[in-house]
Amino acid sequence: MRVFLAILGGAMMIVGVVWFLQGIRVIPGSFMTGSTFWAVGGAIVALGGFVILRAVRAGAPRSA
């Protein structure tokens, strides 16, 4: 389950960053380019992925 959550969190961060960059016109060429909706949505999705990754990392057993 931990591996699945780590993959999910990483994918969310990647997708969120791409959406954010399209929303702020850094990555052109799509209907999302220049849209505040995608910039804000991307930031929220990326932040959610970060939170998931932090939770997975915090739950990992510590090595001696």
Query: Is 46 domain-assigned?
Result: yes
Query: Is 30 domain-assigned?
Result: yes
Helix (H) or strand (E) holding 46: helix 36-59
Q: What is the pLDDT along the chain (64 residues), one digit of tens a residue?
A: 899 999 999 999 999 999 999 999 999 989 999 999 999 999 999 999 999 999 999 987 766 5
Which of 10-48 are b and which e, b meaning 16 or more Cβ less than 10 Å from the residue's Cβ? Answer: eebbeebbbbbbbbbeeeeeeebeebeebbebbbebbee
Query: Is 52 domain-assigned?
Result: yes
Residue 44 is predicted with a pLDDT of 98
What's the domain count of the chain? 1
Residue 57 corresponds to which amino acid? R
Domain containing 18: what range?
2-58
Helix (H) or strand (E) holding 60: none
Residue 62 is predicted with a pLDDT of 66
Question: Is the whole-model pTM more than 0.75?
Answer: yes
